[in-house]
A and B are shown apart, each in its own frame.
Chain A
Amino acid sequence: MNESIILFIPLCSQIREDPDVASAVAAIRSLLEFLKRDQSETILGLRENMTKAIQRLEETDSSVAVSSGGELFLRFISLTSLEHPDLSQCKNVMIERGELFLKKISLSRGKVGKLCHTFIKDGAKILTHSSSRVVLKVLENAAADNKRFTVYVTESQPDSAGKLMAQKLHNLNIPVTVVLDAAVGYIMEKVDLVIVGAEGVVESGGVINKIGTYQMAVCSKAHNKPFYVVAESFKFVRLYPLNQQDVPDRFKYKADILKTVKDLNQEHPMIDYTPPSLITLLFTDLGVLTPSAVSDELIKLYL
């Protein structure tokens, strides 16, 4: 599969050039490129190659969003009538649909930001977890709306992504404090609301996010603080975990660790699952949803 080599290059370069782009968007962009260069003779062959390409992408970057984005991309481009006798015509239709999909999801972050920032009142104290570009967009919009608020960010070990988030917020002139992961319970009584991003939104309405999110959700429930999740719609995935153990291993650990390490019990998972009972509202580009409405939207998206 020579095309796979061609895939990695645009993906890596895109992520390096534009760190603002979500990894799923970059993946979909590479998939589109792959589609344009694909040389299979039949539609079935095309689909097979696309599925293989998605698998290869998942091996590089094992986040939930890449897998869900890839699957949604595949469904979206084939959700049209492919009855043309000429393969190149079909391919053109699919490429058109692909471009449309890409355009839609590039705008989704802006839509979410616009929806959510009205929920931030003047003088609010916000708690967030690790580094999420969507949350950053939301806070940016709120700041542009001349609202005064302070932000607490958790450090989020083991990769200290929280410090990165604090730096970005500082550049936006938003007062920010970095707290330890262990200090979430301590700080909860001071804050007014919690906003986190998501790597994936599952069928039950729960979310999969950086490790530590579940803890934060439980604390906020105990203190009766609203717990908001902001996520784009391409992160909706057809998983239904019952508990932490039920999340598949390929999402829990980074791709290179999965390949090299034998005993996963010694490794620490990078994500955890927050059940829908702890989430107040989800902000997506499809609108503001309660956790039970997510299943409704998923049925519409996938069926």
Chain B
Amino acid sequence: MADSDGRQVDGVNHATGKIYRLKLFFNNEGKELTKEEKQRLRKEKKQHKKNKKDDKGPPEKEKEKEKASVPAPSKPATQSPAHKAAPAPVHASESAAAAEKPAKSKAELRAERRARQDSERTSKHGKKEGGQQSASSKPKATPNELQPVVKRLPEHVQVDDPAALKKLAKKLERQQVRQIHSHVPLRSDYGYKVSLFSHLHQYSRKSPPTLQISIPATVIHPSIVRLGLQYSQGIIAGSNARSVALLHTFKQVIQDYSTPPNEELSRDLVNKLSPYISFLSQCRPLSASMGNAIKYIKKEISNIPSQCKEEEAKGKLQACIDSYINEKIILASEAISKYAIEKISDGDVILVYGCSSLVNHILCKAFEKQRKFRVIVVDSRPRLEGREALRRLVKKGIRCTYVLISALSYILPEVSKVFLGAHALLANGYVMSRVGTSQIALVAKAYNVPVLVCCETYKFCERVQTDSFVSNELDDPDDLIVTRNGKSHLENWQTVKSLGLLNLVYDVTPPDFVDLVITDLGMIPCTSVPVVLRVKNVDQ
């Protein structure tokens, strides 16, 4: 149901008590709740609690739970538990208090609730809720930030407390219900997870995320489904490739989009994109580059003026996406090649790791410019991406050598420079890249070989991380199973209780090991990444 000024008010169920104040209003800056708003919310909740304490009985608690599963299709999945966590502890304390009070008749309770609801609604009519973007689009924004009130658990609650566990199970169930309602399926974790990484998801490639989706998918656009499958099966891999594919798919989505009546394109389209993004992050966690691209698109969409006609708006958005791809990816790689070629001299022996589209581009360009060098490609299991890089370089005619990463310290004395690609550059100067990169940087440092990282500026992210544990990606553990001479060792790894397989995807390299970062803005030391971020923010 829509308000008079077109804002969507979700989840209002007249039969039950509290109104869900989850209005999805995407204002231009996407501000979070300001301090005053948070305080106001807290005061209101306290007031509400006080009013409820007088007449609340146990039957009301069930009613609240029921209303919690009211469908809100365009709501991002990870947000809902955060918001439910707010009312849930409130009810817990209330129900404890109300347990002793005598239960009033149901009709009386309902009437009182309706009266309170009306009064609350009028008081909250003018309040805005801050931009509640999809949590997955923000680079790892904590769900706590989106919670209006941070509730502290009472001191005596233990993790294995059966009551707390039951509550958690109920919360997850609610989340599942909400998921099914919003047509974004939750993938279940597969296999035993090593305890250090138990906070991350580990999915199996054999159970695709599309198993639970109905055909035809009504909420999720088919090209998004296809993209998600391509991500989860590893058909599209590599930071640039994923971002470009995402942007092209979004172009298709915008093309097929039609504004429903009484809706504004700028707000509705953003709401439509949120379940797609949560679906994609279920298929494979979003990369920093994809996160930045999504942020850009959402900003562009919300900046569309309301009087713009639909066709014109769509054309504008398509053009924006095209120019983003062109500027940030294609032209950036040209600029980076220009700087990088200055650093390649005749007679160089260059070491590369894995398959980075940018590094391959640089080497091909340098070869075209008649520089005399040879390349050593280092590869590692289970992805063996170095073979793809080898194929591309040999096709150009560059002299290449291929080694596995275990031979690194053997060939490093021959090497004059190391060129590495990056998945993302963090705000404290750490480089996040394919697992194995930090090992190469470490050994190169020990041999005094300069390490150069090539990275476009759209991969710079505001996140700060000092180790590879706190946030990473776990790939399918079955990839580590080796079949040699017809025998597959580790085939029955699940049956061995004490065995866990860990297939990490990324690792972080400290800035002390990196000598130079080549970006489209120029050559900068690793410690100057926050300066670039600052300059970028000023530009925007």
Contacts and interface: CB of A to CB of B under 8 A. Distances in A.
Interface residues of A, number: 14
Contacts of B515: 204, 242
Given A204-B516, A242-B516, A295 B524 contact: yes
Nearest to A295: B528
B176 to A, nearest CB: 49
Given A242-B417, A242-B515, A242-B516, A203 B524 contact: yes
Interface string A273-303: 0001100000000000000100110010001
Given A242-B450, A242-B515, A243-B450, A276 B525 contact: yes
B482 interface: no
B347 to A, nearest CB: 11
A277 B523 CA distance: 18
B531 A203 contact: no
B95 interface: no
Given A242-B417, A242-B450, A243-B450, A295 B516 contact: no
A242 B343 contact: yes
A119 interface: no
Nearest to B512: A277
A292 B516 contact: no
B535 interface: yes
Interface string A110-141: 00000000000000000000000000000000
A203 B517 CA distance: 12
Interface in B317-346: 343
Given A242-B417, A242-B450, A295 B343 contact: no
A162 interface: no
Contacts of B528: 292, 295-296, 299
A299 B523 CA distance: 11
B527 interface: yes
Contacts of B523: 203, 240
A242 B515 CA distance: 7
A246 B344 CA distance: 10
Contact of B531 (A204, A240, A299): A299
B535 A295 contact: no
B450 A295 contact: no
Contacts of A204: 515-516, 525
Interface string A5-30: 00000000000000000000000000
Interface in B504-529: 512, 515-516, 523-525, 527-528
A205 interface: yes
A295 B527 CA distance: 9
Interface residues of B, number: 15
B371 to A, nearest CB: 15
A35 to B, nearest CB: 28
A269 to B, nearest CB: 17
Contacts of A246: 343
A299 B535 contact: yes
Interface string A197-216: 00000011100000000000
Contacts of B512: 277
A135 B525 CA distance: 27
Given A242-B343, A242-B516, A205 B525 contact: yes
A295 to B, nearest CB: 4
A240 B524 CA distance: 8
Q: Which of A203, A243, A295, A303 has the most CB of B within 10 A?
A: A295
Nearest to B523: A240
B516 A240 contact: yes
Contacts of A205: 525
Contacts of B417: 242
A129 B531 CA distance: 33
Contacts of A296: 528, 531
A296 B515 CA distance: 16
Interface string A225-252: 0000000000000001011001000000
A299 B522 CA distance: 10
B525 A203 contact: yes
Interface in B431-451: 448, 450
Nearest to A205: B525
Identify the interface centre among B452, B523, B535: most chain A CB within 10 Å of its CB. Answer: B523
Interface in A21-65: none
Contact of B525 (A243, A292, A303): A292
Contacts of B525: 203-205, 276, 292, 295
A262 B533 CA distance: 46
A116 B452 CA distance: 34
A276 B515 CA distance: 10
A243 to B, nearest CB: 6
A65 B523 CA distance: 20
Nearest to A296: B531
Nearest to A239: B523
A296 B535 CA distance: 11
A292 B417 CA distance: 22
Nearest to A204: B525
A204 to B, nearest CB: 5
Interface in B379-427: 417
A276 B448 CA distance: 15
Contacts of B516: 204, 240, 242
A204 B451 CA distance: 14
A292 B343 contact: no
Interface of A: 203-205, 240, 242-243, 246, 276-277, 292, 295-296, 299, 303
11 contacts: A203-B525, A205-B525, A240-B523, A243-B448, A243-B450, A276-B525, A292-B525, A295-B524, A296-B531, A299-B531, A303-B535
Top 8 A-B pairs ranked by shortest CB distance? A242-B450, A292-B527, A295-B528, A240-B523, A204-B525, A296-B531, A295-B525, A242-B515
Given A243-B450, A296-B531, 4 more contacts: A203-B523, A242-B515, A243-B448, A299-B528
Interface of B: 343, 417, 448, 450, 452, 512, 515-516, 523-525, 527-528, 531, 535
